[in-house]
Structure 1
């Protein structure tokens, strides 16, 4: 099943204000994806969980043909209303199914969104469907927490989160190892009232993700310690994994 649109539907009008990462994070994400696309076959890009277009719009502005899928129509409405939004071909639906016409040079999912798929079955299905939609030599790119670092982070209590609007945002995380899940609770002070947003994730280790990829006929091409392109190491708390469909597939 797809992640429940919940917070994305209820707070679509404020999503960009509260949950947009700092500009340097978006710039790094777009730059790395553009670099990867340059080494992939010629073809369009597809974003899973495209949301309001934080990553897709700057990629399209660089001249890439970008498509997207999202479960929340309200988020897609926000994307279409933005400058350049009309250039992006979007579908409303379950991104685990990668149900979008065409074949793609790069399929990517950013900002931890892959972990919003709630079960191993859904995550496996996403890998399998992505493999079927990739051009030979194409890439499937996702980012995720390193579980050991995530567990440590969950012990730190409430943490401030930088928001685009400057609204005070606090986040706490609770981890549930028995089910490989963690829950992020956000408190946003908005016009004198607190808004509570709860998001549940299903985490997976890099090794488990590699097995999912292998089951879909994909192989790990490289893994970075973040969208900056830094090397992945024992100190990395996050990773960006790049899987490739062999050209002979």
Structure 2
């Protein structure tokens, strides 16, 4: 078991309803096109597949997909959408769980590598990706850039969403490199709010590149979004692609 926090049944059951924007065609279209191109006609493995926001439509588009998911509750929601025969899911953590076969693509979306709360576990996640990849296969990670430049001296919180139904802000432990995402969400029509929070280990792009090198992967590409826009000093996130060298035979 890793240090990742487990999603509860209640959180899993409301996840899709609270992430409708991330499931929109505007978001998923470029994501699916990007991943399909990198899969190159082979099999794809999604680490932290969740409720299948990306994995299910990617499979329905014709890419064979398997998944690894720590939360049985999240996997149960996915299973309502698609059968095990079409999208098999192994229950376990993405740093150590091994599934049968090899893949031309392993991917992690929507900041999920940050669910691993130690550097060692994130390194093992890269090694696990390399273990599953065919020579020439790619590992893809979508991860936000830590917004630390928005922290004035003495302040530890940065808001990321302020709307009529949701208030979200992150607090930072700069020593441990951990952030806590706080959510206050309007709960029904009664005027009350539900409070949730989750811990994440943030990592810089250069740190991920070093993790990739430890795992025997080479950086191939880094862009600012799924549409291929350039990654710049003002980018709020990055999509990074690392490749397993052709000469690397067998498993890492």
Both proteins in one fold, TM over 0.5: yes
Residues of 2 paired with 1:20 and 1:184: CA distance? Answer: 19
Aligned length in residues? 239
5+ residue gaps, structure 2? none
CA contact (8 A) 1:98 1:126 kept: no
- Tell me if 1:4 matches 2:5: yes
After superposition, give the CA deviation of every residue in 1:197-237 in whole Å (9 maximum; x if it has no partner).
Answer: 21111011111100000000001000011222111112212
- Tell me if 1:29 matches 2:24: no
Residues of 1 paired with 2:224 and 2:160: CA distance? Answer: 24
Q: Which of 184, 187, 190 lines up with 2:187 in the alignment? A: 190
Q: Secondary structure at the match of 1:77?
A: helix
| 2:73 alignment partner in structure 1 | 74
CA contact (8 A) 2:39 2:63 kept: no
After superposition, give the CA deviation of every residue in 1:61-101 in whole Å (9 maximum; x if it has no partner).
Answer: 11110000111111111111115675101011111114222
After superposition, give the CA deviation of every residue in 1:149-170 in whole Å (9 maximum; x if it has no partner).
Answer: 3552775536236xxxxx9222
Q: Secondary structure at the match of 2:175?
A: helix
Residues of 1 paired with 2:160 and 2:211: CA distance? Answer: 33
CA 1:2–1:130: 2 relative to 1, 3 Å: farther
| 1:159 alignment partner in structure 2 | 161
Residues of 1 paired with 2:21 and 2:37: CA distance? Answer: 21
CA 1:158–1:217: 2 relative to 1, 3 Å: closer
Larger RCO (alpha carbons 8 Å, 6+ apart): 1
| 2:138 alignment partner in structure 1 | 139
CA RMSD of aligned residues (A): 2.0
| 1:93 alignment partner in structure 2 | 92
Q: Secondary structure at the match of 2:114?
A: helix
5+ residue gaps, structure 1? 162-166
- Tell me if 1:179 matches 2:176: yes
CA 1:110–1:37: 2 relative to 1, 3 Å: same
State TM-score, norm by structure 1: 0.89
Runs of 4+ with >3 A deviation: 83-86, 153-158
Q: Secondary structure at the match of 2:100?
A: coil
